[in-house]
Structure 1
């Protein structure tokens, strides 16, 4: 049989019953669509999460400084030198001791037995660049500067949660907080923190005032970097902060975003891949069933073809080609629907769609393979028919 004749006969067999062929194709369409959506949404979601992960986490570095009262590892001036490293966008130093934790802080000196007069809070000393390094903003007022530090002014900045606990909502009347019997003028409220959430419930003072609470040496350095510079900066920071004792510093470098992306894709794929495979199996069973019914309906045709000289391979090839055409059609339609669905979901969520070109090209082939395998048994059964039995 000429290949062109085989193709024409197979196409005619598929189009002879269009409704049945369409319903048979639907199973493959659902399976391929599910697979394409699964892979596309997994890649898109992974890319989106990694993008946010990059924006916040992969650009932040923290350095914990062990305390040594006799020979401090990091001086207050050392963090400012880090800005000379290429890729560093902001740096701030924080100091805290055990004595500055859980201090009694009051908003006034009045004794009111009917109300809570004081709150237990942590007092921190910091450099003026802390709001930028903590990725926060001044909700009210301002942050202290180098001038306050040089003059030793007893000023303080409250975290937003600390201000609520102390019932300080405005700075118009220059409110003060009392810690250990000393008054500290509140000049600002720090909020909207995207890192170092502990600052939201703390009292922050200049480093010169930190001596009131036995805060003298840097205990933590916050660093923000440009995208892609975190790994390099994390290696350089210890030497830049303390050249002679760099190994003693503990640098918390961000994890690799590639691992996060792979983890997200793996989790999403594992959830939905089984659904796609089940749909493909259902589609394959549907194709096999319909092809088998078609074989039984066309017994007389098979007998006539065999009696006119058609070989077994010609009969098997015809039915295999029909089932393959159904699977291929379902694969093409399923791939198209899946791609459109991925783009639609991405547009609704305002994501950037990530589509694998290889997946879009191989999905129709997978549909054809499913059709080929599904039609294997019916085709073999048709090929085994004897012309005399078929005609009878």
Structure 2
């Protein structure tokens, strides 16, 4: 390849190149800003989507870590005839026999029993609450926490006492333990109020009573409706396979086993898929921004024909002109990329703080965003820069 002698002798200093590029942008500030806006929107969208998604996923992973993924719920399924099955009365004891199980809790629904704030309430106003019998192991097995008051113990579970789910307490108008509510026509003392339960949300609308008292006064047959068990992390899958046959050896198909943490894991997977889709949308916006930069540079070259001709007449080589316009395109894209980075990080922080998440924007993502803008600017400015370098000095000055 033969080099032009004038290009081999001439050299454009880096600081001069930067100054020329900056002056080219300053000549049309509004146009430069509008062109950079497309790049800014694309980068901001990508960074905001990734940052918000990572912040949300971090919260989900934190919840999974704190709540644990080793909780299984056991409930009665359907018989072969399609009728509702029942769990054996001694199901909790049978579960305890499985190796690896550490905690067991349960509830037994009382569908014929309703709870009211007082005996003067209309019997039809049940507020959609579920009255259920339970034992002392439910709280620890489900990792539920008390908002106020206390939980059942071996003494008070035998008496007319109750613990309310957070939603149940609100619907009954109970704000503190010690209040009285009417359950099955009898006043019960509120021992405590639960916090919202992440892994057992059905407890939020539950009015819980001790199993011995429920059997004596509320018609509880002793058959649990739902069992909650905690096992070691390593034995979750093996325990899951053993539970149906252990609880109901004759008809294991009538026992249903589920894992509440799977819903949180599914939410994590959905968020990841949605993030990929939105990053794709942000990439399209970035591509549109790059086309805008290329369009701007083409117009700039056409408008500055005389300037290019004058510079060539004064000794500027084709390489100098090519580098000048390429630098303008890169600086224009970098301008937009920096603005998009600030906007994207700002959106991530704002949304994270509103939702109570920890803002998460990996430095690698931010650096990659800026690098992508520089690459887009270089590609977008390549053709206009080459076009500018081919301008003939005599034709340009004569135009």
Alignment TM-score, normalising by the size of structure 2: 0.68
1:35 equivalent among 24, 38, 46: 46
The residue correspondences of 1:77-226 to structure 2 (distance < 5 A) are: 77-79=93-95, 85=100, 88=102, 90-96=103-109, 100-103=110-113, 116=122, 124-134=132-142, 135-137=144-146, 143-145=152-154, 153=158, 155-157=160-162, 159=164, 186-192=188-194, 193-194=196-197, 195-197=200-202, 200-202=205-207, 204-207=209-212, 210=215, 213=219, 215-223=221-229
CA 1:81–1:306 in structure 2 vs 1: closer, same or farther (change >3 Å)? farther
Deviation at 1:221, TM superposition (A): 0.8
| Structure 1 pair 318–122 and aligned structure 2 pair: CA distance change class (3 A) | closer
Q: How many residues align?
A: 370
1:289-368 pair list within 5 angstroms: 289-290=296-297, 292-294=299-301, 296-302=303-309, 305=312, 310-311=317-318, 315-332=321-338, 334-335=340-341, 338-339=344-345, 342-343=348-349, 346=352, 350-368=356-374
The answer on whether the counterparts of 2:326 and 2:381 sit within 8 Å (CA) in structure 1 is yes
**CA-to-partner distance for each residue in 1:64-113, whole Å, 9 max, x for gaps?**
1469999938534345567x847x5x5312234xxx422467999x9x8x
Question: Aligned residue for 2:377?
Answer: 371
The CA distance in 1 between the partners of 2:348 and 2:168, in whole Å, is 45
Q: Provide the secondary structure at the position in 2 that maps to 1:210.
A: helix
State the alpha-carbon separation in 2 of the partners of residues 15 and 137 from structure 1.
63
Partner of 1:75 in structure 2?
A: 91
Quote how far apart the aligned CAs of 1:13 are: 1.9
The answer to whether the Cα contact below 8 Å between 1:66 and 1:219 also exists between their aligned partners in 2 is no
Other structure's SS at 1:33 match: helix
Query: Separation in 2 of the partners of 1:259 and 1:168?
Result: 35
Shift of residue 389 of structure 1?
1.5
Looking at structure 2, the residues matched to 197 and 237 of structure 1 have their Cα atoms a distance apart, in angstroms, of 21
Report the 3-state secondary structure (helix = DSSP H, G, I; strand = E; otherwise coil) of the residue aligned with 1:263: helix
- Segments of structure 1 that go 5 or more residues without pairing to the other structure are none
Q: Matched residue of 2:91: which SS?
A: coil
1:232-271 counterparts in 2 under 5 A?
A: 232-237=235-240, 239=242, 243=246, 247-248=252-253, 249-253=255-259, 254-255=261-262, 257=264, 259-267=266-274, 270=277
Q: Distance in 2 between matches of 1:16 and 1:370?
A: 21
Tell me how far 1:242 sits from its aligned partner: 5.7
Bigger mean CA offset, 1-10 vs 351-360 = 1-10
Tell me if structure 2 keeps the 8 A contact 1:107–1:118. Answer: no
Residues 9 and 322 of structure 1, relative CA distance in 2, 3 Å threshold = farther
Does 2:285 correspond to 1:278?
yes
* CA distance 1:81–1:391, change in 2 (3 Å): same
1:6–1:143 Cα change, 3 Å? same
> Structure 1 pair 234/384, CA: closer, same or farther in 2 (3 Å)?
same
Deviations 1:237-281 (A, max 9, x none): 553786485754321113175543342244356457636743662
Structure 2 counterpart of 1:48: 59
Q: How far did 1:297 drift?
A: 2.1
- C-alpha distance in 1 between matches for 2:332 and 2:168: 68
Structure 1, 298-307 or 41-50: larger mean CA deviation: 298-307
Measure the CA separation in 1 of the matches of 2:390 and 2:124.
Answer: 94
Q: Could you list the runs of 5+ residues in structure 2 that have no partner in the other structure?
A: 1-6, 80-84
Residue number in structure 1 paired with 2:4: none
State how far apart, in whole Å, the 2-side matches of 1:127 and 1:177 are. 17
